[in-house]
Amino acid sequence: MSRGKVAHESARARLARHLRGERALRGLSQEALADLALLHRTYVGSIERCERNVSLDNVERLARALNVDIADLLAAD
């Protein structure tokens, strides 16, 4: 195992990056995704800007709306 510096991306940042990417792949606006997930459009935007500490329930809602596994939104790829 290397002792060099390793960049660490927070779970919040990974969620934001994956959420934005999956939403864009599907051609959805933040508002459209919010409607599918039964969330407010400004809430989705704040998640994508890493401004929210999102509950697992809401991550699950977003994953279902995007038809992806919740683990995909949190993956450390």
Residue-by-residue pLDDT tens, the chain, 77 positions: 445 544 689 999 999 999 999 999 999 999 999 999 999 999 999 999 999 999 999 999 999 999 999 999 999 98
Q: Are 66 and 33 in contact (CB under 8 A)?
A: yes
Give the list of residues 6+ apart from residue 29 with CB closer than 8 angstroms, or none.
Answer: 23
| Contacts of 57 by beta carbon, 8 Å cutoff, 6+ apart | none
What structural domains does the chain harbor?
11-71 (1.10.260.40)
pTM to 2 decimals? 0.88
CA distance 15 to 19: 6
DSSP string, 41-75: HHHHHHHHTT-----HHHHHHHHHHHTS-HHHHH-
